[in-house]
Chains A and B, each alone.
Chain A
Amino acid sequence: MTGENTRVLVVDDEEIVRESLSGWLHEDGFQVFTAPEGRTAVEMMKADRWNVMLVDLKMPGMDGLQVLEEARKLQPEAAIIMMTAYATVDTAVTAMKLGAFDYLVKPFDPEELSLLMQKVVAQQSLVRENAVLRKALKKEHRFRDLVSKSAAMQKVFELAQVAARSNSTILVLGESGSGKEVLARTIHEESHRSGGPFVAMSCAALTETLLESELFGHEKGSFTGASARRKGKFEAAAGGTLFLDEIGDISPKLQLDLLRVLEERKFQRVGGNEPIDVDVRIIAATNKDLKKAVSDGSFREDLFYRLNVIPVTLPPLRERKEDIPLLVEHFLDRLEAEMKKRVKVSPEAMGALLAHDWPGNVRELRNVLERGAVVAQGDVVKPADLGLSPAPARAPGTNAPGEPSSLEDVEKRHISEVLGHTGGNVSQAARLLGIDRVTLYNKIKKFHLSRDGEDSDPSGA
């Protein structure tokens, strides 16, 4: 960034200061604008973006500190330089605490102003570069709605991109909540079928007859209650993608029907005789071990091979915890759009999210964050807002499974987890632990814990 594309706003009630400073900065090639009072500056902040603001501390009406506070809210990335005729340490400290970039005492030494402006330009260049990099990084860690930087998921992204270009059947394997439908939808959107429909259907919890009718449709009068002809999912998905979730749960008869469709690319509606051509790409998914189901005879081997043309396995969230901060940011962006409320996750809450085992995977994380955003008082989600039960998972640095722990270690860990869960509320933690507050305070002291459960002993003891 050079002076030419740096927009500077000079806010001062003295015309001569505005004129001489803007003239001087103009000679440096900056785009300089002026405001004679705080309120005008705030309006200008609402209307335009500014890289640098030079704000007089003492002005009638809205003073410089108030302008600074507004600027931090409206344009947090702008560098604010406070100008004062009276060098008081107090006001300078207050300004810096409120987020001012620096302050200058009037009149300025030319060299000091010149160096400061160079520093600001360099800082603003970094801000801009950072934003570009962050955007690029975000893009790199994304495959449409899938967000991950883990190596295992990157392989999934690559495979899914290749699979999307083919017309082959895809079998998505993964635990419940790991994003199987999101992946299927993503593959559909990336494929040449993206102009066609994406139809999703869960094969569990439906009776064999109902599922058959749902998949293939039925002719009028084909069974009791079939008062009209109805198209099934295969027809609804024509030209697009049919996602069949929980494929491991279908009956042997439906397994055979499905196998025929996959082999012949034709089917008949229930109660019908007319063969209907199939033009769908099938993506099937299951959280069951289909190979085991094949070996115990509950799933047809020939159907398994028909479905398993391109298998894609989604790793569970507990195996890619490095994705949690990225996913948190992704879901908070989503929640902001839905709830018109931007929340942040406190470092303690992030610690709790990282420590949790996530049996419900990404779906559980999304639900926990949604709950946290709703429950949070203010804009920061604290551990207690998440409603996570104290994690049964092993905390980092603790004994490996199978390695016995001392009673004292277990007690310390448990207290730490409960304090993390209550967000540092000692009374609530004492109630949960079934001990009185004084005893809990003594234990916090004894184990060198902070009130939010963090180990406050730098030695880690």
Chain B
Amino acid sequence: MEAIHLWWIGEKDPGPRTLEHLRLHLGRALGAPVRIWEDEARPPDAYDERRKQWATSRILAWMGRVGPPGKVLAVTDQDLFIPILTFVFGEAQLDGRSAVVSTARLGEPGLPDPRVAMERLAKEGVHELGHCFGLVHCDSPACVMGRSPSARDVDRKRGEFCSKCRDRLKRAGGEAR
């Protein structure tokens, strides 16, 4: 399978452990090599002054223009939105190349264990990349492709695909090659 790129597009330095943990988890869940893409560029027109949030559709379009080839997961510490929702944890181009995920709402203040936020980020990263492979939301509550509109829902699911989604992913990966 073609390598997947992981790209930090946030403001603060995430530290080496966060991205490395994510890289290993993505590689294991998706069965593909995952490389970190180092680029200081940031989406220039995605910030919405009125909502004080970043528009995912603009980030994804910008990533397609300036990012690396193949599938890319961008990670940010900024709050994301789509126009119809108050916020999103992440967004992806269904059956496309780009996905973005945010840590802004995954580690609420006072979270006792910082590893919980890291687990959530890993699950949401796999989830958004799953969309890039054409997977839609899964009805199985434990599957990583399960709909997770709240952090509680993210905690409830596992970081891996259920057997049905794994089969679909295999078929999609074959096609992507």
Contact = CB atoms under 8 A, between A and B. Distances in A.
Are A and B interaction partners?
yes
Given A23-B94, A27-B94, A114-B147, A106 B84 contact: yes
A108 B147 CA distance: 16
B137 interface: yes
Contacts of B111: none
Contacts of B81: 107
A1 to B, nearest CB: 11
Interface in A99-141: 106-111, 113-115
Interface string B129-161: 001000011010000000101100100000000
Interface stretch (B12-20, B85-93, B116-124, B169-177): B85-93
Interface in A7-37: 14, 16-17, 19-21, 23-24, 26-29
Nearest to A54: B84
Given A23-B94, A26-B94, A27-B94, A107 B139 contact: no
Kindly name the residue among A16, A108, A110, A113 whose own CB sees the greatest number of chain B CB atoms within 10 A: A110
Contacts of A16: 83
A3 interface: yes
Given A2-B139, A27-B94, A28-B147, A20 B87 contact: no
Contact of B85 (A2, A26, A29, A108): A108
Given A23-B94, A28-B147, A108 B136 contact: no
Given A111-B149, A113-B149, A114-B147, A20 B85 contact: yes
A24 B82 contact: yes
B157 to A, nearest CB: 14
Given A27-B131, A27-B136, A20 B82 contact: yes
B57 interface: yes
Contacts of A108: 84-86
Interface in B29-85: 57, 81-85
B70 to A, nearest CB: 21
Contacts of B82: 20, 23-24
Which range holds the interface residue count of chain A?
20 to 34
Kindly name the residue among B81, B87, B139, B147 whose own CB sees the greatest number of chain A CB atoms within 10 A: B147
Kindly name the residue among A14, A107, A113 whose own CB sees the greatest number of chain B CB atoms within 10 A: A107
A20 B137 contact: no
A285 to B, nearest CB: 58
A114 B149 contact: yes
Contacts of B94: 23, 26-27
Given A29-B137, A111-B149, A114-B149, A24 B86 contact: no
A26 B94 CA distance: 9
A18 to B, nearest CB: 9
Nearest to A117: B147
Interface of A: 2-3, 14, 16-17, 19-21, 23-24, 26-29, 106-111, 113-115
The 7 closest A-B pairs by CB, nearest first: A110-B149, A20-B82, A111-B149, A114-B149, A29-B136, A21-B84, A20-B84
